[in-house]
Amino acid sequence: MIDVFDRMIIHCLSRDIRMPFAQIGSVIGLSEQTVARRYQMLVGGGVIQCTALVDPVLLGGTQALLRITPLPGRGGTLAAALAQHPDMSWVSLASSEVICVHRSENTADQERMLIDRLPKTSLVQSFSAHLVISRYPITTELFGASGLFSAEQLARLDDVADRDFAMADNSERDRDRVGDPPVLTATDREIIAILARDARMPFTRIASRVSLTPTRVASRIKELVADGALYLDVDLANTALGSPMAVIVFGRVPSRLLPSTGAAIGAIDEVTFVCATTGASNLMASIQARDTLHLHTIITEKFGAIPGTDDLEFVPILQQIKQARAVVDDARTLISLR
């Protein structure tokens, strides 16, 4: 089980995924070597993976939430197969369905998956696809981590964190979407593929692989982030963080209330993602809870206090198969998808 210092390190990384170990140490009061050792233990123990992804929406594509009914007894096999697909994220196994997110950079990719490949898969009985049309802000922090820091430590963290390398704010990317989508070069995609495996890889090592200078690599990564084409993310083993119960919420909210309801749900401490979608349900959110009693409190006291939340379905996740990029093993720790 991780301790307070591990949680502080994870919070620092959420503010700046590429923050040097020495700067993290200066914030939390540990040596650079100790922070590095703790970080390697978190990675090696399958607690955390720093990764990078392209935003298909900003590239002119889509994100689709898929609810797939597998053949009886074949849900686990189907989920494991979907998790190996690079365009699939957040693959989850519920009691009677597989839920996942398909990320397509263009219409052709979407059609190939939803019209050709998925309907022809022998393990699939039926499925529905719901486009993500708006992502609402998450205004709380990872497990209330700022409470672990003193005011001086938080001020120091604000000083040293590079906002360009913070965990993605989906709602900001949606608001900033103007003009033509960014165009990725072959070198850009090489850089992104490297960062996807390790978003903390030194610029010098990346530069040696793509035949650019470290300075040019650093500036290009920042340009891609600023353009919205690239974002950095942290996959976390929630069981190790004390929130082993994952629940997906599907809701039908009156259209006029959807923006305000989505924003209010994003302010709930235990909510990690919330968006508007097409389909019979027009809102989806993800919850991390400690146990069933905690989930009951979240549903009745937090969701229940928000206007427009009278028609919600709470679907417990029996097994998380894949997160943004990392696959989750049987011990609920993270395995890098190479």
Summarised one tens digit per residue, pLDDT across range 164-194 is 888 866 555 555 556 677 889 999 999 999 9
User: Which H or E run includes 130?
Assistant: strand 124-135
Cα–Cα distance for residue pair 13/47, rounded to 1 Å: 13
Share of the chain above pLDDT 90, in %: 73
pLDDT confidence tier of residue 227, bands split at 50, 70 and 90: confident
Q: Which two tokens stand for residue 141?
A: 């922090």
Distance in Å from the first CA to the final CA of the chain: 26
**Alpha helices, H only, the chain:** 4-15, 21-28, 32-44, 75-83, 107-111, 151-160, 170-175, 186-197, 203-210, 214-227, 258-266, 292-297
Distance (Å) of CA 282 to CA 31, 152, 255, 264: 48, 42, 8, 15
The three-point CA angle 324-328-332 to 5° equals: 130
* pTM, rounded to two decimals: 0.89
Cα–Cα distance for residue pair 185/163, rounded to 1 Å: 24
SS3 content of the chain, % helix, strand, coil (to 5): 40, 25, 35
Query: What is the mean predicted confidence (pLDDT) over 136-146?
Result: 76
Q: Give counts: helices (H), strands (E), the chain.
A: 12, 13
Count, residues in the chain: 338
Cα–Cα distance for residue pair 28/176, rounded to 1 Å: 33
Task: Give per-residue pLDDT as tens, 262-280.
Answer: 999 999 999 999 999 999 9
Cα–Cα distance for residue pair 118/98, rounded to 1 Å: 13
Q: What is the pLDDT of residue 307?
A: 96
Domains and CATH numbers, the chain: 245-317 (3.30.70.920)
Q: What is the pLDDT of residue 165?
A: 87
Cα–Cα distance for residue pair 185/102, rounded to 1 Å: 23
Query: What is the mean predicted confidence (pLDDT) over 291-298?
Result: 96
Cβ-proximal residues to 288 (8 Å cutoff; 6+ apart), any chain = 238, 243, 245, 246, 270, 272
Cα–Cα distance for residue pair 215/242, rounded to 1 Å: 40
